[in-house]
Amino acid sequence: MTSDRTEGTEALNMDALLDAALMHVAFDGWTEATFAAAVADTGIDPTLARALCPRGAVDLALAYHRRGDQVMLERLATEDLTGLRFRDKIAAAVRFRLEAVEDKEAVRRGVTLFALPSHAADGAKAIWGTVDAIWTALGDTSEDINWYSKRATLSGVYSSTVLFWLGDETPGHQATWEFLDRRIDNVMQFEKLKADVQKNPLLKPLLAGPAWLAGQIRKPREAEDMPGRQGRR
């Protein structure tokens, strides 16, 4: 009970810090100045705030990204996507993720932050988490090379769509949704080509190496998700 109460308090404090930070991000970016302002605005003890966010605004930026993922998942759980083609379900999920953003400038500043070499790995991991959440929510049960390739290709689609969306000023972001549709069509063509290769006994050996590599990449992630490891992240 005590542990649950502590986790609940930490989550509330993190939400408070993030909400306060968003008031400053447009001016100062995801920087130490923004983190310091958020701590001052909330009145949270600086030592406690640093324990929650050891890297300051970087951790807040990642929390902001995860918040968007959660909003997307909640919408996916309530929207009726029955009857849609699978590629349209993917498009809907990406659209829901972008529509979860209330402040485009916060995302723009995040893109700038995670473009830095020191934080590029964090940005890539955040995007991977988003596309993994999409495939999982849509019921993906693929394994090996398919598990990896689906997420890798959707990561490319999602990243390019975000960049296009940041500069899109068309009503309702219509140009972005058209761009997204074109990118997903390209991915579907790739998936069809890959399926044809897998069916061809002469070409199938070409995928043996990538399949092995995908298995090695997935194993560490599965180990992290095992019960008992969640609290040690």
Report the mean per-residue pLDDT for the chain: 85
Q: What is the pLDDT of residue 187?
A: 74
The pTM of this model reads 0.81
Tell me, what's the pLDDT at 173? 97
Comparing 72-76, 158-162, 185-189, the range with the smallest average pLDDT is: 185-189
In this prediction, residue 145 has a pLDDT band, given cuts at 50, 70 and 90, of confident
**Proportion of the chain above pLDDT 90, given as a percent:** 68
**105-140 confidence digits (pLDDT tens):** 999 999 999 999 999 999 999 999 999 999 999 998
User: Got the DSSP string for 118-166?
Assistant: TTHHHHHHHHHHHHHHHHHHTT----HHHHHHHHHHHHHHHHHHHHHHH
DSSP code of residue 228: T
* Cα separation, 103 vs 96, whole angstroms: 14
Task: Read off the pLDDT band of 4 (50, 70, 90).
Answer: low
Length of the chain measured in residues: 233
Tokens for 62, please give them.
């990642």
pLDDT of residue 142: 82
Residue 119 is predicted with a pLDDT of 97
Those residues with Cβ within 8 angstroms of residue 15's Cβ, 6 or more apart along the chain or in another chain: none
| Residue 231 pLDDT exceeds 50 | no
| Predicted local confidence at residue 55, as pLDDT | 97
Q: Is pLDDT above 80 for 53? A: yes
> Is the per-residue pLDDT at 37 higher than 50?
yes
Residue 157's pLDDT is what? 93
CB 110 within 8 A of CB 119: no
